[in-house]
Every structure is written in C-alpha cells, then in structure tokens.
Amino acid sequence: MQNFPEQLLTEAALKSGALITTGLCTEYGKDVFAVPGSIYSSASKGANELIQNAAFIAL
C-alpha cells in the first residue's frame, strides 16, 4: 500500500472494484477522497456512499 499514499474516487457504482481498493486504503490508514455525484446516477452511488461513511469530500 505504500505505492498509493492517497486515493481519489471520482465515480463508482455500489458494486465496484474501486470501492474494494478504497476500503483497503481505509483499513491501512490511507486518506481516501471522493467526488460527490448526482443522487440520480447509479454510477455515483458508490462514491456518494463512501463520502457518507469514510471518505473526505473532494470538490
């Protein structure tokens, strides 16, 4: 995990491999940032949920 000091998630569905990666980063104490997306877009649901639970908001 030392190769990934921080993670930025721009868009992810709820069942996305990107969420697995950001989950591992959180477990290792790495900062995770996510860009909020439309509440109507299924492609933004993962990033929006991550913001609610663990990530910093990237604006």
Question: What pLDDT does 13 receive?
Answer: 92
Residue 25 domain-assigned (yes or no): yes
Residue 34 domain-assigned (yes or no): yes
Residue 29 domain-assigned (yes or no): yes
pLDDT at 9 over 60: yes
Which domain, by its residues, includes 14? 6-57
Percent of residues in the chain assigned helix, strand, coil, to nearest 5? 35, 15, 50
Q: What is the pTM of this model?
A: 0.79
Number of domains present in the structure of the chain = 1
Percent of the chain residues past pLDDT 90, beyond the cut: 42
Residue 43 domain-assigned (yes or no): yes
Q: What is the DSSP letter of 4?
A: -
